[in-house]
Amino acid sequence: MFEQLKNLLNNNHYLSLEVTPSHGISNASLTKKIEDADIIKSISGFVVTDSPLARLKSNSIITAYKLQQHFKKPSIATITMRDRNKIALQSDILGANELDIRAILCLTGDSVKASNQPNTKGVFEANSLFLLEIIKCFNSGIDYSGNPLTFPPNEILPFVVCNAKAKHKSSLIKKLTQKLKYNPIGVITQPIYSKENAIFMQEVLKEAKQNLPNKCDVELILGFFPVTKLRTAQFLNSHVPGVYIPEFWIEKLSNAKKISEEEERHVGIELSQKTYGDLIKIHPKIHLMGANNFTLLKEIIS
């Protein structure tokens, strides 16, 4: 399955689908939503989130396993530093490996301030670089403390994320360079909303790779989150670090909203479809995000 993932990344076209697990014990309804949207033939695989915004969801590894088994397409499980110490992190990655979930998206994790679980405390022993270090150790046959593993795991494929906007390009390159030292196979960006931003991210990755002493075979994957409402665009611009929605998006959605909600949605879909088409032409490796609105995502990519 994960040779398939490597091959897909090396192809000219790659399209992953973000999936957030259910708030409950069964993901059967989630699977049905994906089937009903008729999107599965269009995608290369899944990226399963790990309780985003610190809101309780089912386990990302188990959900990734279920999706992979059901749809026969590779799943990338997100693991964050927020909820686990170094023992739990290593235990979860080893357990995932037993289920043949070998692609891990390494994140620091959202703040617990937004959690729907009262008085939650974040663990945050370190940031995502620590998780990359653990994977590096495992791929060398040892645990984080340097002890040889009794039964070493199969190769683990790390993925990382990168902001799509920063005040200074150099700071973006510096942070990405630190992650590339661990040889991830994919860099997924925050959502991108213009051709210029896509080209900028290609330049950032190129310059970060030039800072490394050795060759790094990593693929850039452009994040895209369709926006059909003015309030969504304003929220992303104001509250999500590393995301920038161009002013003309805001202006068009604002004018449309004054007419009607239907016109607002129509304009949002038009803008999203055009931007998605532009991104595909520049760099046909995309990660689709959509808060599990798979029908909307199918409409955009069609």
State the average pLDDT over residues 84-98: 97
State the average pLDDT over residues 163-191: 96
- Residue 84 and residue 21: Cα distance in Å, rounded? 18
Q: Give the count of beta carbons closer than 10 Å to the beta carbon of residue 126.
A: 14
At residue 292, the pLDDT reads: 96
At residue 6, the pLDDT reads: 85
**Residue 90: inside a domain, yes or no?**
yes
**Residue 301: inside a domain, yes or no?**
no
- Domain extent for 214: 2-227+284-292
**Residue 82: inside a domain, yes or no?**
yes
pLDDT digits (tens, 9 = 90+) for 31-77: 999 999 999 999 999 999 999 999 999 999 999 999 999 999 999 99
Q: What percent of the chain has pLDDT over 70?
A: 100
The set of residues, in sequence order, having a beta carbon less than 8 Å from that of 154 and lying 6+ positions away, is 97, 100, 102
The set of residues, in sequence order, having a beta carbon less than 8 Å from that of 104 and lying 6+ positions away, is 76, 77, 78, 79, 93, 96, 131, 135, 156, 157, 158, 159
pLDDT digits (tens, 9 = 90+) for 120-150: 999 999 999 999 999 999 999 999 999 999 9
Reported as a pLDDT band with limits 50, 70 and 90, residue 26 is confident
What radius of gyration do the chain's Cα atoms show? 19
User: Residue 10: is its pLDDT beyond 90?
Assistant: no
- In 3D space, the residue among 108, 102, 106, 107 whose CA is nearest the CA of residue 157 turns out to be 102
Q: Supply the DSSP symbol for 243.
A: -
Reported as a pLDDT band with limits 50, 70 and 90, residue 203 is very high
**Residue 124: inside a domain, yes or no?**
yes
- In 3D space, the residue among 91, 88, 86, 161 whose CA is nearest the CA of residue 126 turns out to be 86
CB 202 within 8 A of CB 208: no
CATH of the domain at 152: 3.20.20.220
**Residue 203: inside a domain, yes or no?**
yes
At residue 7, the pLDDT reads: 87
Report the first-to-last Cα separation within the chain, whole angstroms.
27
- Residue 255 and residue 28: Cα distance in Å, rounded? 40
- Residue 276 and residue 234: Cα distance in Å, rounded? 19
Q: Supply the DSSP symbol for 2.
A: H
Chain position carrying tokens 């009262």: 118
**Residue 278: inside a domain, yes or no?**
no
At residue 148, the pLDDT reads: 98
Domain count, the chain: 1
CB 201 within 8 A of CB 164: yes
At residue 11, the pLDDT reads: 84
At residue 28, the pLDDT reads: 86
**Residue 299: inside a domain, yes or no?**
no
State the average pLDDT over residues 187-210: 97
* Cα 195–Cα 196–Cα 202 angle in degrees, nearest 5: 90
CB 104 within 8 A of CB 65: no
User: Residue 171: is its pLDDT beyond 80?
Assistant: yes
- In 3D space, the residue among 43, 60, 71 whose CA is nearest the CA of residue 286 turns out to be 43
Between these two residues, 104 and 5, which has the higher pLDDT value? 104
